[in-house]
Amino acid sequence: MLTITQALVDQIVAHARKDHPDEACGVVAGPAGSDRPERFVPMLNAAMSPTFYEFDSGDLLKLYREMDDRDEEPVVIYHSHTATEAYPSRTDISYANEPGAHYVLVSTADTEGLGDFQFRSYRIVEGEVTEEEVKVVESY
C-alpha cells in the first residue's frame, strides 16, 4: 500500500495537468528504508511527448547523487498518461528498474467517465505489475 499526503497528491496531479498534453514525470524522494514519500521532485520529460516519457539522463544522475547525499531513495516514481487510463504500458513496465518504488500513474484523460483524473499506484518487479491501494493522509 502507498501512503501519501494529500499535498503530494495535489502536487503530482497539478504537474500532470500543467504538462498536458505531454506526459509529466517525476520522483517523490523519502528517507532511505522508510517507504515514506516526502520530497516532491518534478522532472522534465526529455521526450516532450504525449505518449511517452523519458527522464533527462543528466537530471536523473544529479537527482540520484542528491538523494544519495541526503540518505534518500525514490519512494514514488510518477508519470501521467494523457489519453489512456492510469495503467502501465509495456514501455513503462520495461523501464521500471526500482523494485522498491511505488509507480504512480495519473491519467488526465476522462476514460470511461471516471472523472477528470485517475491516481493509481503499482509495484512493478521483474515485469510483473501489481496494483496497490493508495491511502491519502493529511500528514504522517
The 10s digit of each residue's pLDDT in 70-110 is 999 999 999 999 888 899 999 999 999 999 999 999 998 76
Quick check: 18 and 43 in contact, CB under 8 A? no
Q: Which residues contact 19 (CB under 8 A, 6 or more apart)?
A: 45, 80
This model's pTM is above 0.85: yes
Q: Position 88: which residue type? A: P
Quick check: 86 and 68 in contact, CB under 8 A? no
Looking up cell 523519458 gives: 54
What average pLDDT does range 2-27 have in this prediction? 96
Spatial CA neighbour of 87 closest among 118, 42, 51, 48 = 118
pLDDT of 112: 59
Fold observed for domain 2-137: Cytidine Deaminase; domain 2 (3.40.140)
